[in-house]
Amino acid sequence: MIPTKEYVERKFDEFNRLCFDGKLSRLPVVMSRGRSALGKLSFMRRRNPDGSEVCSDFTLRISTRYDLDERVVEDTIIHEMIHYHILSHGLRDTSPHGPIFRNIMADINRRHGRNIEITHRRTESEMAADTERKLHILLVAKFSDRKVCVTAFSRSASVLLPIWDTLGRVVGLSDYRWVISADAYFNRLPRSRSLKFYRLPLDELRRRLRAVNPIIRDGRTLTTGRAIDLTDFLADAR
The conformation of residue 228, written as its DSSP 8-state character, comes to B
Longest pairwise C-alpha distance within the chain:
64
Angle among Cα 173, 176, 180 to the nearest 5 degrees reads 145
Highest mean pLDDT among 34-43, 116-125, 139-148: 139-148
Q: What is the pLDDT of residue 188?
A: 86
Measured CA to CA, the distance from residue 29 to residue 68 in angstroms comes to 19
pLDDT at 33: 87
- Count of other CB atoms within 10 angstroms of residue 92: 9
Instruction: Give mean pLDDT, residues 122-143.
Output: 81
Res 51: pLDDT: 77
Residue 167 has pLDDT above 70, yes or no: yes
Q: What is the pTM of this model?
A: 0.64
- pLDDT exceeds 70 at position 126: no
In the chain, domain spans: 5-125, 133-224
Where residue 103 falls among pLDDT bands split at 50, 70, 90? Answer: very high
Return all residues near 87 (Cβ < 8 A) that are at least 6 apart. Answer: 41, 43, 55, 58
Element (H, E) at 112: helix 99-112
Would you place residue 133 in the very low, low, confident or very high pLDDT band (cuts 50, 70, 90)? confident
Confidence at 128, pLDDT banded by 50, 70, 90: low
Task: Give bridge partners of residue 56 from the DSSP assignment.
Answer: 44
Phi, psi of 177 (to 5 degrees): -140, 135
Residue 12, pLDDT score = 98
Task: Please give the sequence-ordered ranges of beta strands (E in DSSP) within the chain, or none if there are none.
Answer: 29-32, 39-47, 53-63, 136-143, 148-153, 173-181, 191-192, 213-218, 221-224
| Domain 5-125, CATH class in plain words | alpha beta
Instruction: State the average pLDDT over residues 100-122.
Output: 92
Mean pLDDT across the stretch 165-171?
94
Residue 209 has pLDDT above 90, yes or no: yes
Residue 62 neighbours by CB distance under 10 Å: 24
Of residues 49 and 77, which shows the higher confidence score? 77
What mean pLDDT comes out for the span 56-79?
Answer: 94
Strand order in the sheet with 29-32: 29-32, 53-63, 39-47
Q: Span 5-15, mean pLDDT?
A: 98
